[in-house]
């Protein structure tokens, strides 16, 4: 699996390279600024990009802007964003095209190697990998929005765990309920989102993104 990394801190960048290569990823390029990231993404069209939000030259949102522009030119390009903090505006903007293959993790999650590697793989396969803190803030921001108000408390819990990328079996284990109960909650969520029955697995991603986007 081919990866492009964008991180301006040398130690973290080198650590990400070693970590991913140790888990059978191929890092095709690692860059430290926004313009280089956009060029790299368009040139290599990797299976997934791991991107810091704030990069030189201005240390504001260069990483995110480069990733969004690359996704505009290469629809569905998988991007996993790393950030020091929960930045709601950046998270919502990344999610706004609803094409899946996106993730947003806080940098301290990288220390949990298994969780981080799983997130990279999940995003590369077209799924979502949202940090629990990001999910909590985005969902709480939408508590009074009409669509979310139609969900029960348990359905909101299920949706939050779906956003983290958990399977129905994993959600059932986390909530101490049966997988059949989770299947029912997921079906209710799809219904309330007016997502009709489909064999398309991307419906699950759309359900998550529909609630997390602006």
pTM above 0.85, yes or no: no
Q: Higher pLDDT residue, 207 or 145?
A: 207
Q: Higher pLDDT residue, 36 or 162?
A: 36
Q: Label residue 32 by pLDDT band (50, 70, 90).
A: very high
* Domain final residue pick, 100, 131, 162: 131
**pLDDT tens track for 147-192:** 666 778 888 888 888 877 788 898 999 899 999 999 998 888 888 7
Q: What does the pLDDT average to over 30-45? A: 96
Written in H, E and C, the secondary structure of the chain is: CEEEEECCCHHHHHHHHHHHHHCCCEEEEEECCHHHHHHHHHHHCCCEEEEECCCCCCCCCHHHHHHHHHHHHCCCCCEEEEECCCCHHHHHHHHCCCCCCEEEEEHHHHHCHHHHHHHHHHHHCCCEEECHHHHHHHHHHCCCCHHHHCCCHHHHHHHHHHHCCCCHHHHHHHHCCCHHHHHHHHHHHHHHCCCCCCCCCHHHHHHHHHHHCC
Q: What does the pLDDT average to over 46-67? A: 92
Q: Higher pLDDT residue, 157 or 203?
A: 157
* Domain final residue pick, 131, 155, 170: 131
Segment of 92-96, 103-107, 164-168 carrying the highest mean pLDDT: 103-107
Q: Does 92 share its domain with 149?
A: no
How many domains are contained in the chain?
A: 2
Q: Evaluate whether residue 62 is within a structural domain.
A: yes
Q: Does 147 share its domain with 114?
A: no
The answer, yes or no, to whether residue 214 has pLDDT greater than 50, is no
Q: What is the mean pLDDT of the chain?
A: 84
Q: Does 70 share its domain with 148?
A: no
Range 27-55 burial, b when 16+ CB lie within 10 A, else e? bebbbbbbebbbebbeeeebbbbbbbbbb
CA angle 104, 105, 108 (to 5 degrees): 165
Give which of 106, 130, 146 is closest to 205, Cα–Cα.
130
**How high is the pLDDT of residue 205?**
67
* Domain final residue pick, 131, 165, 198: 131
The answer, yes or no, to whether residue 55 has pLDDT greater than 80, is yes
Q: Evaluate whether residue 171 is within a structural domain.
A: yes
Q: Evaluate whether residue 148 is within a structural domain.
A: yes
């Amino acid at each position: 699996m081919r990866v492009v990394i964008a991180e301006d801190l040398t130690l973290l960048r080198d650590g990400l390279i070693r970590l991913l290569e140790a888990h059978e990823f191929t890092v095709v390029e690692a860059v430290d600024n926004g313009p280089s990231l956009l060029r790299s993404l368009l040139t290599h069209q990797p299976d997934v990009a791991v991107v810091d939000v704030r990069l030189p030259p201005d240390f504001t949102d260069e990483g995110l802007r480069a990733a969004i522009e690359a996704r505009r030119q290469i629809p569905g390009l998988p991007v996993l964003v790393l950030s020091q903090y929960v930045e709601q505006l950046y998270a919502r903007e990344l999610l706004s095209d609803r094409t899946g293959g996106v993730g947003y993790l806080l940098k301290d999650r990288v220390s949990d190697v298994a969780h981080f590697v799983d997130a990279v793989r999940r995003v590369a396969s077209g799924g979502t990998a949202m940090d629990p803190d990001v999910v909590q803030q985005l969902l709480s921001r939408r508590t009074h929005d009409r669509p979310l108000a139609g969900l029960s408390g348990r359905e909101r819990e299920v949706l939050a765990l779906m956003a983290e990328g958990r399977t129905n079996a994993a959600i059932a284990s986390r909530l101490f309920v049966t997988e059949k109960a989770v299947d029912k909650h997921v079906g209710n969520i799809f219904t309330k989102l007016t997502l009709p029955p489909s064999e398309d697995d991307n419906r699950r991603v759309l359900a998550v993104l529909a609630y997390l986007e602006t």
